């Protein structure tokens, strides 16, 4: 395995982390990556030897759900990385949120990557916001796609399937908001009233 061309490490002369050019050396190891090399500080030009030991990434199976479909792939993680339910992780540039973990046939809330046999996640670049819409005395169940950080505010008007609706309250985990706002990713259900144009 070839060493990288540059890395950021502490320079003994500058006494801070700086870019270093790798002058030679080798990378070896199976469970851990060991780099032994001479390096030159790009700030002061000082040449010194380094030995850097890092964990070798492992491939962990992940199942990503989106719009009723599931895709199997793998994600590279360090063995010591701890993954938790509700962690946000990027897989092939897709933003996802961890929904479940399996370790030795048991579902867990958190586990080290080396112990995980499967990660379940869902795409998180957009989320479904469930809506209870009251219109002409009837309540309709609706949903819309929103960016996770999109805020919905009490009293705010928004378009819903060609109609205008006003937010009356927002249910989040453990409470209902009557004033203020909440982000789409935190909303359990949004309550709204149809507005005549």
CB 16 within 8 A of CB 22: no
Mean pLDDT of 134-156: 93
Q: Is the pLDDT of residue 1 over 60?
A: no
Mean pLDDT of 93-115: 92
Q: Is the pLDDT of residue 43 over 70?
A: yes
CB 61 within 8 A of CB 96: no
Strand 187-195 to 127-135 pairing: parallel
Cα 142 from Cα 191, distance rounded (Å): 10
User: What confidence tier does 197 reach under pLDDT thresholds 50, 70, 90?
Assistant: low
Domain layout of the chain by residue ranges = 6-55, 58-123, 127-195
Q: Is the pLDDT of residue 31 over 80?
A: no
Q: Is the pLDDT of residue 25 over 80?
A: no
Strands (E), 56-174: 58-66, 69-77, 82-84, 88-91, 94-103, 106-108, 110-112, 118-123, 127-135, 138-146, 151-153, 157-160, 163-172
Please name which of 43, 34, 36 lies closest in space to residue 8, comparing C-alpha atoms: 43
Topology annotation, domain 6-55: N-terminal domain of TfIIb (2.20.25)
Higher-confidence position of 81 and 32: 81
């Amino acid at each position: 395995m070839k060493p990288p061309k540059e890395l950021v490490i502490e320079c003994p002369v500058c006494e801070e982390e700086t870019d270093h050019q790798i002058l030679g050396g080798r990378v070896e190891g199976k469970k851990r990556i060991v780099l032994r090399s001479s390096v030159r500080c790009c700030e002061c030009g000082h040449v010194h030897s380094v030995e850097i030991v890092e964990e070798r990434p492992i491939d962990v199976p992940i199942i990503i759900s989106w719009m009723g479909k599931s895709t199997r792939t793998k994600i590279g993680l360090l063995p010591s990385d701890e993954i938790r339910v509700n962690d946000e992780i990027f897989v092939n540039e897709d933003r996802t949120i961890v929904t479940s973990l399996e370790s030795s046939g048991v579902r867990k809330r958190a586990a080290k990557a080396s112990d995980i046999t499967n990660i379940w996640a869902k795409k998180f670049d957009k989320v479904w916001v469930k809506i209870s819409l009251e219109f002409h005395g009837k309540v309709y169940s609706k949903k819309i796609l929103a960016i996770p950080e999109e805020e919905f505010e009490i009293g705010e008007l928004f378009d819903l399937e060609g109609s205008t609706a006003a937010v009356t309250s927002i249910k989040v985990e453990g409470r209902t908001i009557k004033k203020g706002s909440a982000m789409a990713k935190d909303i359990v259900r949004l309550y709204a009233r149809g507005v005549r144009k």
